[in-house]
Every structure is written in C-alpha cells, then in structure tokens.
Structure 1
Amino acid sequence: MAKTQDDGHDVVIIGAGAAGLACASDLAKAGLRVRLVEAEDTVGGRIRTDRVAGFTTDRGFQVFNTSYPQVRRRLDLPALFLRAFTPGVLIHTDRGRIRLADPTRRPRDGVTLLTGGQIRPRDLLAFGVLSARAVLEPASRVRARPDVTTRAALADAGFSEEFVETFFRPFLSGVFLEDSLETSARFFHLVWRSMLRGTLCLPRDGIGAVPEQLAGGLPSGLLRTSSPVTELTQTGVVLAGEEVRARTVVVATGAGAAARLLPGLAPSAGRTVTTLYHAVGSSPLSEPTLLVDARRRFLNTCVLTEVQPGYSGDGRALVSTSVLGAPGPVEEAAVLTALAEAYGADTRTWEPVHRVTVRGALPVMPPPMLLTRTTRFAPGRYVCGDHRATGSLQGALASGARAAREVIADLKATGTP
C-alpha cells in the first residue's frame, strides 16, 4: 500500500518538459500550491542536451526560434547566449549546390537566384508571394483557411513540381519528420511565418539550457526530479510507492505516457528521428548553414561548431546529421556516403561521437488540424503537450499555458480560491 504524502497540494503536474514547466509557472504565479514531478534526472523531456566525450550534443537536432510568442514571453534570450544560423539553406543536387536564402536578409543571394538561372522565374515569384504573405498576414487568417496537405497548398500557390521536389520536400522533411508533405498546410504556413519573422539559433550550452532556464524561475521546492509516476488515484498520484495527494492532476508527458496514465485518451501517433554526431578534424563547411539533400538520403546536416564553437571541447568540428526512423548499420553507412557527396569530403575519417534516436519526436499532424485543443480530460484531470497543439516549442508552451488557465477557471468555478 502506498504511503500518503499530504502536503496540501492543489495541483500535481506530471512531466517537466516545456508544457509542464509553463503550466507549473503559471499556476504558481496564480497562488496555487503546485508539485511538479519528473521521471528523469533533469527537466526538458525531449528538449535535452548531453555532454559526450567533450562535445555538446542535443537529443536530436534542434533549433531555437526567437519569434515564438511564448518564447519571448517566458525566456531571457540574452542569457541563452544565442548564435544564429544563416537565414537560408543549401540544397545538394546532382547539378551542385543551390543556395536559397531569405531575400529580405540576404539580398545578394536573391539576385544570384534571379540571374543564375538555377530556379525558374515562376517559382521565384511564387516564393516571394508566399514569403510576403507569411510576414504580413495575421496569424488569425492562417488559422481560418480551409486545411489541406502541404503538398496541395504548395501546388495551389503556383510552385512547379520540380521546385517542390528540389527544395520544399527535402527541406520540410527535416521540419515535419516526414517526406511526403502530408502535414497540415495550416501548420506549414505558421512554421514558414515564424521562420521569416524570427531567427533560428542555438544556445551556447545546448538546447537543454531552455528548459533549465524555465525551471530556474520556479519557486524553490516545487520541482521533484527522478520521480516516475506509476499511476493516478482518486486523490492524487503514486510515485515510488508513495501517494502525493492533490485534487487536480495535469499530465504533461509525451503522448504515449499520457495515454498510459489516462485510460481512454486517444493515443497520438508520433514521428521517429535519429541524429548522428561526428567529430571531424576540420570543418567541411565553413559557414553556419543547414544543408539538405535533394535526393532525401538524410533530412538535414550542419556543422554545429560553425554556429556555436563551444560545442566542441578539443577544437574539432562537430557535424550533426538527422535521418528518418532508426537506421541500421547498412543504412548508416549509406548516410555517410551521401554526406561525402554533399560536403565534398572524405567521411571515412569522421569519428562517430554520439547517436540518438527520439521516438515520438513530433506528433503526426495531418489536415484538418486543430492548432490547439482543450486540456480538460475528466473532472480534475488535464493533459497538455505539443501533441495537444502543434509540434513545436511554441505548441508545448502554449498547451501548458492553456492547461493552467483551464485549471484556474475550473477551480474558481468550484469555489476554490
């Protein structure tokens, strides 16, 4: 029988990822007595950073977008010591590399595209119109449009099939973690908008610095790590043979764990991605730019130390490469062959540093897609996370904030201060 810990909590939150941290912060600010429990030894969920052999390696390739409203509201950006990627992407094709950049930030690259004949005028015009709408159009209009697949939306926008296959499909495969462009166009438009309005960066200490900063703003004693929850009870939650009582429980875990803890919750499908880290004697690309492959043999690759030199402890370059699924040794060797072509380098000398597979890295987001859903599951039971909103840091934080608002509203409705 579980021993009962009765600290008089109003709310127990399970999971100290971005959603749980946002929810805990907002509930604590509202004056509620909150306990946040996390199964792992530190916060972050899928937003984690490991130190491996002197290198800084994130749990999968991740970027930090400064344009997200929740990010601007909750984080001290200067304290993250952010450094930016190039505002554009390099595409490795059978005819060589194509650079596609934001013409508002890199006008010279836009002129090169116009005069170099690498991309048809029709596609450049469609690209300009799409980007202008993304920058100028309010988000409410994007949300109000009928939803279709991203592939259908790109065709409707006037892009040729060749351009979609050369640029959008390889680039967005790394964003959506699927290579058929079957993801909601509503989500695509919001992502495109955020990329053009913000800056894609990496924190000096890895992406794990983001949840660490969020956790650092919580009241002392609120967070408890290394505390996996085994079940929910009528009066709280059970962890390590101990019941923590609370009238309200918020499940802020990943989709799979949420479905296990809340029987009857419809499970959300997720995408799996594997990221390979290699140490290289000298940088194979002397700029902080994302490189994608038109043949889609990998999702994307970049030299992380061109963005943040401190990710290497011994002066060697650190290359990150992401691929769909969980490749075996044969597939991994094929990736190195593709990287040799893309970088024009001898990858046989590259030293494997780390490999991480993230299952459920992003929720599957087909159309028609609800950009946000209520977190209410049952009386006194709530569920939040990016699988309840959009597959992004913004989605996770916004879902956690919504859970806090709904908890506060429901407690007030029952006469709880």
Structure 2
Amino acid sequence: MPAYDFTRRTRRQSDPDVVVVGAGAAGLAAARALTGHGLTVQVLETTGRIGGRMATREVDGFRLDHGSHLLNTAFPELRRRLDLDRLDLRPLAPGVLVHSGGRRYRAGDPQLTTARQAATRTPFGSPLDKARLGSWLSRLAATPASRLLARPETTAARALTERGLPARTVDGVLRPLLGALLSDPALGTSSRVADLVLRSYARGRLCLPAGGIAAVPAQLAAALPAGTVRLGVRVTSIAADGVETANHGRIGAQAVVIATDAPSAAELMPGLRLPAFHPVTTYYHAADRTPMNEPVLLLEGDRTGSGPPLVSHSLVLSELHPSYAPAGQALIATTVLGRRGFDSGGAAGLEPAVRARLAELYGTSTTGWEFLSVRHVPDAVPAMPPPHNFRRPVRVLAGLYVCGDHRDTSSVQGALVSGRRAADAVLRDLGLPVAGREAEVAA
C-alpha cells in the first residue's frame, strides 16, 4: 500500500512521532528501533513496571521470575538486539534429566558426539536408537529454517510419530522436552514450530540472565532516551493519529503501535484475532540445601492416564546463579502445565501434591522445603496450532500497527521480531529508510 500522507494531521508540539502502547519486550523493541531512526516515541504502560510477562520480583531475598521463561543463545533476534555479555546469561547444564521409572537419566545433549550419546545408559532405546536421536538432532541443527518451513504441517504430536524415531525415544525424551519448551503438554502445536524449537535447542544453550528474566526488558528500556517510557498511563482508545488515556488526556502521534498482550490488544482493537492460550503455573520452593548440584532441566518422563503429568519440569535456579537465593539457601522453580482451573484453594491448594512429586523427582525429602509463592497465568503462552502463520500482519492500516508474540512465535524471539517488524512498517509509511534484512524465522 502507498505511504500515508501524515503531513495533514494536526499535532501539538509536545506530541511524539509515535505512541507505543505497552512496555513489554515487543513494545520496547519497537521503540528502540524507532528512536534509533531519530523519531520521538512515548511508550505508555498501564502498570507500574516494564516487561509485561517478563518480570522478576524479590521475596525475602529470593529472586522469582514470573513464569517459566527460558532463553536460547541460538535465538537470532536475541543476539542482534541485546548485549548478551552485559546481560550475563547463565547457561543451563547441557541436555536434560528425565525422570522415568523412579530414576533420572541424562538425555538429549546435542553437544555429545553420536557415539557418546549411543553409550549413555538410559531406558529410552537401544544404543542404535540413541545414536539415531543424536544424529537426528545434528541434522536438524544444520537444516536451514526455510527448509523446515517447507515441510508438510501437522501437529507436533503427530509429526513425532512419523519421523521414524523409536517410540521409547519419542515418549521418553522428545515429548517431555517439547512439552516443556512449548508449554504445550498435548503437543498440539504446529510441527513446523516444533521443528524450529528443537533446531534452536540443538544449536544453542538454554539460559537465563543472572539478574532474572526482567533483565531483558530492562536492557531494552535502558537504551531508550530518558522519558520515553511512561508508567501508570492507561490507554482507553486508539486511532491512527493518537490515543485517549484515562487520566492523561489525548496524546497525538503520527503512528500508534499496540504492543500489549493479545487480550488487551483485542479490547483496544475489536476484531483483532485472539488466539487460544496455554496456561502456566510456577511453584517456588526454598530449601536449606540444594536437591541438585547443577542447573539442569529436570523433566517428568512418566505419564499416567490421558492427561498431562502433574509436574512438567523443575529447575534449581540457585545453581544457575547464587544471587537467586540468599546464602545457604536453594531456590527451586517447578512448572505445572495444562491446568486452567483449580479446585478450592486455587493454585496454592495443589502445592502439597506438587511438593510430594518433587520428592520423587529429586530423590530427596521435601518435608522441610518452604513454599514461597505460586504464579498462575491462564493466558501465558499463545497457542500455535497448525496452520501457523509465522508472520501475521503488523500493519492494520496506515498509522496503526500491532505487535507481540501473538503475531510471530510465542517466545522472546517472536516478541522481539514482531516489535522490529512493526517499527519497520512505521518507518516505511513515514518514508524513512529501513535497514537490514528480514530476520531468520526461529522459535
């Protein structure tokens, strides 16, 4: 579409060039790209903090991340938009531990040679089966994303059964791993998304910032001009030439970018596609001593009945970096997936059952563990069933744009890419040059 003629709009001298609604990762990425081209931007955030779902809070000296966020060093946009050295990323131990039949087994380490993977002692297949898994992950890591996107699309669950891998390997390793990475225990996610997720897993390292997941939006915001982000400003309606706010009047602009979560975006823009969501519940426990001497992702590999297991995965965050817990204490974060509602007592009412299962997973008594907090987010992760559009339009019309992980992929990678795509659309409509090439698709 031709660029819109913005010169006829009447704006106050104090009005910014662009208003971005929402100070999550997507909104901050969009603002950073726009200010980098000399535009004035106001990021309006209704709450008292930045980051959206990427939040960290301190509780009695423990650092609690909201949700089960995990970054991956293979995310292309993460490397392009952030200073990873300054972010102080701390990698998880290679591979995962899968609890199955009362024991824990190391599996899925793409850094091991195929021969060493074949030699590992696990019940997830013969040595040949484990060698095939290692070879398959290596080939996936080397496959261009464009080729993965050209594959026939089905659900991740169905694709796993059609890839020629043994059922013991699929059910013992890949299903619990993908369920944890996608927050989708039923694996109804697009097989193309699942392939990209496993590709990133095989190419990079799962990690978290030493200062908690909130360090990501904090670094994005720190690169913005002073005064760009305004907290406690609730936008009530939007137009292509500005926004109305609850207590701060009208703010005019040449363009408006909606960078909220999907439900909030749909409220501001009726008719906008609203995806389904995967719920995520995270339990935090403190212990006098660590139940695991390394920061490894512990997966639940036993399945009973037709529903998801009680616990999806657990991680000793204080082994990732000691600042996650006070001296002499350990912090354990445990994720439960697939539970949208709870019986009486809410999410906290399930904690005794979670704690009991953790005793089995870690092979230690959890009686003395302290229950610190639980964070239940029913709309945590936008679902990506087939067919999935990896590049949903960010330009609604000239002057009005929308971005967020619900427009690309449900990850930090997707949020950052979506914010940059929205900024690029604004720049094109304003007749300004857009630098760089289209980012590689990743999930």
Matches of 2:114 and 2:57, distance apart in 1: 37
1:248 to 252, 255, 269: 255
Q: Which residue of 2 aligns with 1:344?
A: 363
Q: Which moved more, 1:379-388 or 1:93-102?
A: 93-102
Matches of 1:247 and 1:77, distance apart in 2: 33
Q: Does 1:405 align with 2:405?
A: no
Alpha carbons 1:386, 1:395 under 8 Å: kept: yes
Matches of 1:408 and 1:103, distance apart in 2: 40
1:80-133 superposed Cα distances (whole Å, 9 cap, x missing partner): 2222111111111115212104243477862532x6665234532441232122
1:104 to 100, 105, 111: 111
1:40 to 47, 65, 69: 47
Q: Which residue of 2 aligns with 1:357?
A: 376
- Kindly tell me: are residues 68 and 103 of structure 1, through their superposed partners in 2, closer, same or farther at Cα, counting changes over 3 Å? closer
Q: Does 1:320 align with 2:339?
A: no
Letter in 2 for 1:195: Y
- Kindly tell me: are residues 108 and 203 of structure 1, through their superposed partners in 2, closer, same or farther at Cα, counting changes over 3 Å? farther
Shift of 1:213: 0.5
Matches of 2:356 and 2:236, distance apart in 1: 45
Question: What are structure 1's unaligned runs of at least 5 residues?
Answer: none
Q: Secondary structure at the match of 2:17?
A: strand
Q: How does 1:15-414 map to 2 (within 5 A)?
A: 15-105=22-112, 110-113=117-120, 118-121=124-127, 123-233=129-239, 235-241=241-247, 242-295=249-302, 296-324=309-337, 325=339, 327=342, 328=346, 329-412=348-431
- Kindly tell me: are residues 361 and 107 of structure 1, through their superposed partners in 2, closer, same or farther at Cα, counting changes over 3 Å? same
Alpha carbons 1:37, 1:228 under 8 Å: kept: yes
Letter in 1 for 2:94: P
Matches of 1:330 and 1:42, distance apart in 2: 29
- Kindly tell me: are residues 331 and 250 of structure 1, through their superposed partners in 2, closer, same or farther at Cα, counting changes over 3 Å? same
Shift of 1:172: 1.8
Matches of 2:60 and 2:77, distance apart in 1: 34
Taking structure 1 as the reference length, the TM-score comes to 0.93
Alpha carbons 1:9, 1:33 under 8 Å: kept: yes
RMSD: 2.0
Shift of 1:24: 0.6
- Kindly tell me: are residues 117 and 344 of structure 1, through their superposed partners in 2, closer, same or farther at Cα, counting changes over 3 Å? closer
Alpha carbons 1:290, 1:300 under 8 Å: kept: yes
Matches of 1:11 and 1:130, distance apart in 2: 46
Matches of 2:113 and 2:47, distance apart in 1: 42
Matches of 1:10 and 1:266, distance apart in 2: 27
Taking structure 2 as the reference length, the TM-score comes to 0.87
Alpha carbons 2:241, 2:399 under 8 Å: kept: no
Shift of 1:232: 1.6
Matches of 2:129 and 2:268, distance apart in 1: 48
1:244-275 superposed Cα distances (whole Å, 9 cap, x missing partner): 11131110000000000001112122111110
Alpha carbons 1:22, 1:400 under 8 Å: kept: yes
Alpha carbons 1:64, 1:200 under 8 Å: kept: yes
Alpha carbons 2:240, 2:256 under 8 Å: kept: no
Alpha carbons 1:278, 1:352 under 8 Å: kept: yes
Letter in 2 for 1:145: R
Matches of 2:106 and 2:22, distance apart in 1: 41
**When the two structures are aligned, how many residues end up with a matched partner?**
409
Alpha carbons 1:28, 1:34 under 8 Å: kept: yes
Matches of 1:227 and 1:167, distance apart in 2: 46
Q: Which moved more, 1:134-143 or 1:167-176?
A: 167-176
Shift of 1:336: 1.4
